[in-house]
Structure 1
Amino acid sequence: MAFSSEPRPPADRRERFTPEGTQAPPVHDTESSPARTVSAAQDIKAVRSQTLVRLLIVALLIAQLALFPPLENENACRALVAGYALWAALLVWEAWRGRRSLPRSWKLLLVDLVVLGTLLAVAGGFDTPSAIRPLVDDAFFLIPVLAAFQPSPRVTAWMTVASGLAYLLAVQGAGTDEGWGRTALLLLSLLLLGGICTVLTRVQQSRVRSVGALLERNRELLGQAMSAEERERRSLAEALHDEALQDVLAARQDVDEARGSDRPEALERADRTLKEAARRMRSIVGELHPVVLQRTGLSEAVRRLADSAAQRGGFTVRVTGPPVPSFPWESVVYAAARELLENVVKHAEASHVEVRWEAREGLLRLLVIDDGRGLPAQALDESVRSGHIGLASLQVRIETAGGRLVLEPLLPNGTTATVELPFAGPDTPSGGG
């Protein structure tokens, strides 16, 4: 918008605009953040699943003692398995009761390893046919599976290595006559399974982080959206007060000076000031409710937006694009052009801006290119955190319509913003002005 060249009322004679309320900065409760909530829920599910898998180890050990008894210390082995079964049952009860949290589950895995290693060492071997592998050996393979429920791939990897070492120490301590070839093969299989579980844990960790980040962003958007209406009303009030209302006040002073005196220049100045105020108010109302979009179409509406932004931002603008027939998402395109140009006015400090559009291959593509300061790599996230949801809400609106918003740096400086939306009309040439 252009500013009137006529003198304004002195600062001490202008009405002061004071918002009725101030907006408190966003509060980030780290204890109840969505990322922490997702992580905590995932931990509970992991612990519960882990306790159920541990019951499978108990079943294997009971089957081992029942079908193929130990060669030595049978009573001690039975007592050890009975105590382990009771402990595993208590963990299941605690995990599903949900009244208090269990210890870090990687510490519980150490108990599993101690029990398996002790059983294998104390038993001195099992009365198992040569063609059948002891079920205790299979139980060692479930340790990496238990560890896979951990949120950390590093824990899974270390528990896999610990399982292999515990198995080797137990076999050596038992003094069995099993060949080293068979032991090495089992150890290799165990490490391979542990490697697969480690990869799965890493994938799961990445997914949990992604979901947490999305929930965090949605939470920030929701918090900002709750006060968006108030901010828009304050912004409108400030715009009307700082621009149009000041022109009206100046015109009133000119009228008061001309009343009862022969000063036609004061009336002429008042007339010019009122015309400027009317133009500004039409511009503000036009941006809030784009009647021009309905009357003249999208192309003309975007041109007027660009001209208004150039006057307010003090930059030159080049607008190119053919006439675009009416289509369902033209209001989204208009809103995108308005938001992107407003960001250029407020933040870019640009000297030249180019706005162009074209419709090709079922898409309408709008580009807003400026030579200003440029946007940081995390512009959308940073805008939300700082309390500005314009770009973020615009992105959501565009994606809801089946399109996309892309912000790219322009070398050596500046930004290229590209908006793509579905367009069912005929293809149009990219030229035109």
Structure 2
Amino acid sequence: MPHDERTGILRRHTREAVRATAVLRLPLVGLMALLGTAVQVSHWQPFVFTVLLIVYGVLSLIWLVVVFTVDLGPWSGWTFTVVDVVAVVSLCVASGGATALLLPVFFLLPISVAFQYRPGLTAVVGLCTAVGYQIVWVVYSKRDDTVGFPDEVYLYFGFLLWLAAATTALSYVLVRRSATVAALLDIRRRLVAESMNAEQRERRQLAEHLHDGPLQSVLVARMDVEEVRETHPNVILDAAETTLRDAASQLRSTVTTLHPQVLAQLGLTAALRELADFHSRRDVEVTTHIEEVVHPEGEELIYQVARELLTNVTKHAGATAVDLDLAVTDGRIVLTVADDGGGFDLSVVSERVAQGHIGLASHLVRVENAGGTFDITSTPGAGTTVVASFPT
């Protein structure tokens, strides 16, 4: 798998973890507010605590909106975690120091970043959490000389260090498993690509064999029949010539289906326009908006997908009009086929695959294994739109 693609997968995982943490943070702020009202310890600073908690809650709400509306970079994984550590330490100090009921919140900080596929960040946050707990005790012990450092302080500090190590190990395991899955997907993609290349080679060879063998024989036989007709016209020869002409036409169509010469000779744009013209002669109006696209590695796949989609429209959709669009959008090649036909229930696709109708499904798998996406939107009675995107 290319490094950029693997980085993109990890980035998506991190973004999901950041969003999940942002959602879970607000209920935590609410629980902290409830705990704050139950605190009955010395050095309680209710006004300071309330102000800090309101500021923390507002920032958490703003962050929640940001992470769901803006595509943030890798820095988003640790940015608000710094705010979390500072906020928890400050709230614990304001709520009465180390004897406050908020101390268990410390244990939640390392867990909140363990699922971000960043072991280093998890270790740093875990260590800072343990140190922050000690700082709270230092503040409280300095403020009240009778408190000191009880044995349980060191015990809790040890628990926090263990939690930092455990969450770091968890994050490391997640990263390793993600890398393993990515490697397996890479192997699968290469195997599919090799299989597709082998299939394409066989299709070309078969097309060349039909073109140079049976098709040429049929054309020669047709020429012989035409020569005989010129001198000895009769009904039988007329019928034979018609049959040979139809056979030649069918062979040409088969050769074109196996390996379209226009694609090899003139490129994807010309091949798609010829494909649209071919289907326009079947009582379906095909409107094209095709940009000039050069993508030698993926042109045959794009052409095959377009041909499969247009064939499905003419055979099954009952459509009168089809839009065929090919454009480059956001660095990706996007093929769109939209018809005004009867549409269908998307759940039927899996049923048809189970019944052995794998034409569309096989192309979906090929597109996805080539690093693309395949989206189908259809409603019975409202037409169908298929959008397939391919990496450039």
Q: TM-score, normalised by structure 2?
A: 0.46
Higher relative contact order (CA 8 A, sep 6+): 1
For the pair shown, the structure with the greater C-alpha radius of gyration is 1
Q: TM-score, normalised by structure 1?
A: 0.42
